[in-house]
Amino acid sequence: MSRLIVVSNRVSAPRGSHSGAQGGLAVALSAALQEYRGIWFGWSGEVTDQFTGQISFEREHGVTTATIDLEPQDVEEYYDGYANRTLWPLFHYRVDLAEFERGFADGYQRVNERFAQTLMPLIEPDDVVWIQDYHLLPLGQELRRRGARERMGFFLHIPWPPRRLLSTLPVAEELVRTLFAYDVIGFQTDEWLQSFLDYVREEMGGHIEGDHVVLGERRIRVMACPIGIDAENFAQLARSPQARMAYRNMRDSAVGRDMIIGVDRLDYSKGLEERFLGYERFLKEHPAARKEVFLLQIAPPSRAAVESYRIIRASLDSLSGRVNGAYADLDWVPIRYVNQGYSRDVLAGVYRAAKIGLVTPLRDGMNLVAKEYVAAQDPEDPGVLILSRFAGAASQLTAAVLVNPHSAEEISDAIMTALRMRREERIERWRSLMDNVEREDVVWWRQTFVSALMGEDQALLVDSEP
């Protein structure tokens, strides 16, 4: 059987499949690596004065991780620079925030070469290589240049921008061309896939043949393969002792009011300002409903080295302060705004205690918080998910109350609709959401992608025909 080599910017060491602290993606990839006796390769998160290419191996719970340290300049140009100041904003439709600097592009290229150079000796014939996300777009090509002939796939976790937007990136075409080194490319949704195809067709003269795209000599498989969560595990987590305690604490502190929950990395793509403004509008338009609710926004800071993240943080501090200043009373604060992270089991209990899950990104590859909120609900008395139309998750979670996150009126109306929704309708919508979250879960995601990568999906399709 082939081994699987997973490559991502950072590696999260597996800490046991039921650990409350571990993220869903780490669980998913660890499970795949256990099954295929694989290696997970990436940056350790550590810096060193001089890049040596020395690999640190660790083995835990049946998974081998292999990590390298980077130089400070690498982190500045590749990670904080090209990945998070150029590609991230541009791919989230924020060309106004995207910084185009040759130094960033050079650093990005250099680190991708460093990844290729250190990874190459670890790859054995028959291995299958699966590369994750926008940090490593050209890695496949760098591996091919060094002689790799194994099957290689790439999965993009974030949106693919529309053609004309991507064209604003200097050397966009060269970057896109590197993707043709892969055998399979996966996107979260059909919308992102179509934008990619549009670019390849219109800007590069490629053409589409069924689920393949052809450019010159290269013919590669493309697919929409939405990522899911470990639904069963998350639903169990929501019933764990830690979660129950968090649930009770939240209920006690709510003193009979309904909680609206938001959980996001502090990122401008998540629509936090728009969410606060929508909620403020609700408070303004519905004075009688004011003290029935409060909004708990959990937003752990991220990418603090990047200026646009410091700006959004300051602006949220002031916006939450303004709303609370205008509406708070002796015994009530409309927004509880918390800038720290919590363990996954506590988070699960908090989701379960919330009457409304408010998920309003302006643009999001998928959004796993929406799925976690659904999985954590009590089937007898579920809460209501309000979800942005511009999250990848909206293409699957159509039974949510869908909103345009740019419209404060729509957010305000949706909160009112959710608060007044009868139990039968909440159960009906939740059942439909949960069916999807359970069916297209994270195991389905990785199996779908990996079988396409191994060229087994055609066989599976034939086998499953009556």
Active site residues: 157, 364
Say if residue 297 is exposed, middle or buried (CB neighbours under 10 Å; 0-12, 13-18, 19+): buried
For residues 155 and 356, give the distance between their C-alpha atoms in angstroms, rounded to a whole number.
31
For residues 25 and 450, which CB has a smaller minimum distance to ligand GDG in the complex? 25
Shortest Cβ 272–ligand GDG spacing (Å): 12
Q: Which stretch binds ligand GDG (CB under 6 A): 134-142, 317-325, 362-370, 404-412?
A: 362-370
Options 295, 298, 306, 411; binder of ligand GDG; rule CB under 6 A = 298
Binding of ligand GDG at residue 114 (CB under 6 A)?
no
Shortest Cβ 420–ligand GDG spacing (Å): 27
Percentage helix, strand, coil, to 5, in the chain? 50, 20, 30
Bridge-based pairing of strands 207-209 and 212-215 is: antiparallel
Where do we find the tokens 């929508």?
A: 278
Binding of ligand GDG at residue 341 (CB under 6 A)?
yes
Residue 29 and residue 131 in contact, taking contact as beta carbons nearer than 8 Å: no
Neighbours of 403 (CB within 10 A): 27
Q: Which stretch binds ligand GDG (CB under 6 A): 95-103, 245-253, 277-285, 363-371?
A: 363-371
Shortest Cβ 363–ligand GDG spacing (Å): 9
Binding of ligand GDG at residue 453 (CB under 6 A)?
no
Binding of ligand GDG at residue 366 (CB under 6 A)?
yes
Between 55 and 94, how does the x/- string for binding to ligand GDG read (CB under 6 A)? ----------------------------------------
Binding of ligand GDG at residue 227 (CB under 6 A)?
yes
Q: Which stretch binds ligand GDG (CB under 6 A): 55-63, 93-101, 110-118, 367-375?
A: 367-375
Q: Token pair for residue 253? A: 């502190």
For residues 123 and 109, give the distance between their C-alpha atoms in angstroms, rounded to a whole number.
21
Instruction: List the interface residues with ligand GDG, window 19-58 (CB under 6 A).
Output: 23-25
Q: Which long-range contacts (CB under 8 A, 24 or more apart) does 24-31 make?
A: 24/229, 24/230, 24/234, 24/368, 24/372, 24/442, 25/227, 25/442, 27/230, 27/233, 27/442, 28/227, 28/230, 28/442, 28/443, 28/445, 28/446, 29/446, 30/61, 30/63, 31/443, 31/446
For residues 186 and 206, which CB has a smaller minimum distance to ligand GDG in the complex? 186
Phi/psi at 133 (nearest 5 deg)? 75, 175
For residues 97 and 148, which CB has a smaller minimum distance to ligand GDG in the complex? 97
**Contact set with ligand GDG (CB under 6 A):** 23-25, 157-158, 227, 263, 265, 298, 300, 341-344, 347, 364-369, 372
